[in-house]
Amino acid sequence: MRFEALYLHIPFCKSKCAYCDFDSRAMGEGCALDEAVATYCDALAAQIDAHGRAGDLAEVQTVYIGGGTPSLLGVRLVELVRRVLGYCDPVEFTCEANPESFTAELARSLRAAGVTRVSLGVQSLQADELRVIGRIHSVEQALEAVALAKGAGFSTSCDLMCGLPGQTLDAWRDTLKRVLLADPDHVSVYPLQLEEGTPLERLESAGKIEVPDEDFQAQCMDIAAELLHAHSYERYEVASYAKPGHRCQHNIAYWTGVPYLGIGRSAASMCAATGDVSLLLENTFDGTPDSESDGTSDGAAGRSSANSSTARIRFTQLDDAGEEFDHEFLTPREAMAEDLMLACRMTDGIGPELLARAIRVIPADELSAACDRAVEWNLAAWDNGALKPTHLGWLDGNKLFGIFWDLAADA
């Protein structure tokens, strides 16, 4: 198999945020953390080596280490970076970091090892907001982390959240203005989602906190767009803004159908292949890939690349050692509907090339009707042959996405 993007999952955090439902483990100080991290990193390294020796990583263009809190690993994170770069030469290598564990020493070591980009979980620059969502860093630590990342030469991104309990529009503006003064290269803005079973959701259900409604979130997103555009950040995706040359290429890979490999607990993969699905599973995703077998036979199965119309297989690693996987099979029509839906996340929208590929898989009358519906509902508009999201399309993205995902099923 050949992958163009690689994701490594680090499922460790110092503490669990009140809104988080990701697969991550809150770890305390001491031996328990050290032993768990060492065991996990050893297993991760073994999987990197197995895929590297099989040639699966040779064409990787982007790498992203996420979590969890990768920066919590310290020197072990640096070792993982070096191991990956023994098998590929990516144009972009991102590590996520939280401000409280992103030190000057770690910044220098990661940069020297070959990391090019750091994504910092800032979330807010208001002390009361950080406290209520369970973030353990301070405002000062967040701003210092941005300065450290920029000083070390990284392309630096900040994640921010809006619609937080007790948040006001003035507080949101203040957070944005202070982030702009810190001058990162990239900013992502996410509305808070209350996930079932999280501490924040339980507090809200019990009436102990009040979370702003969707109208407030929409106002926050509009304010972010206005301020960021005024400071030369270009929106290229529904939640992402970048200075010229600083778009996140790894995330773009996800949204444009590029085959990617995920290594680590709960990491997902998608790949292109023809042949027997069971052979693909056995030879590529059991932690010991077999480069001698291509897993081909009569009958088709596989994850499409951006330029194909084949079916897709999505894999999710279920355990730490890479020995168990869950997989999902998508038909060619489902795969194409997914490409159309994901294109609606991007400012470039659904371009002529994607439409030409889609019409080979989805009946022309159904595809045309879906495009017409998006325009009629003012969720998208035609621009030089591309169907691009409108302002309403950004704010009501799920409705726009649904129009094209509905094409997955035969009429």
Q: Which domains does the chain carry? A: 5-252 (3.20.20.70), 333-408 (no CATH)
DSSP letter at 91 equals S
pLDDT score at 283? 53
Q: How far is CA 377 from CA 303, 343, 392, in A?
A: 32, 18, 9
Enumerate helices (H) and strands (E) in the chain, giving the number of each: 15, 16
Contact 340, 404 (CB under 8 A): yes
Contact 261, 314 (CB under 8 A): no
Q: Which residue has the tokens 């996405």?
A: 401
pLDDT score at 319? 84
Question: What is the C-alpha to C-alpha distance for residues 355 and 353, in angstroms, rounded to an integer?
Answer: 5
| Bridge pairing between strands 186-191 and 234-237 | unpaired
pLDDT score at 320? 85
pLDDT score at 330? 86
pLDDT score at 323? 82
pLDDT score at 94? 98
pLDDT score at 312? 80
Question: What is the C-alpha to C-alpha distance for residues 329 and 135, in angstroms, rounded to an integer?
Answer: 37
Q: How far is CA 104 from CA 77, 314, 396, in A?
A: 14, 38, 41
Give me the tens of pLDDT residue by residue for the chain, a chain 411 residues long: 789 999 999 999 988 899 988 877 777 655 566 788 899 999 999 999 999 999 999 999 999 999 999 999 999 999 999 999 999 999 999 999 999 999 999 999 999 999 999 999 999 999 999 999 999 999 999 999 999 999 999 999 999 999 999 999 999 999 999 999 999 999 999 999 999 999 999 999 999 999 999 999 999 999 999 999 999 999 999 999 999 999 999 999 999 989 999 999 989 999 875 555 455 555 554 443 333 333 332 223 333 333 344 568 888 888 888 888 888 888 889 999 999 999 999 999 999 999 999 999 999 999 999 999 999 999 999 999 999 999 999 999 999 999 999 999 986
pLDDT score at 281? 54
pLDDT score at 29? 55
Contact 93, 116 (CB under 8 A): yes
Contact 40, 98 (CB under 8 A): no
pLDDT score at 90? 98
Global pTM value: 0.90
Contact 35, 12 (CB under 8 A): no
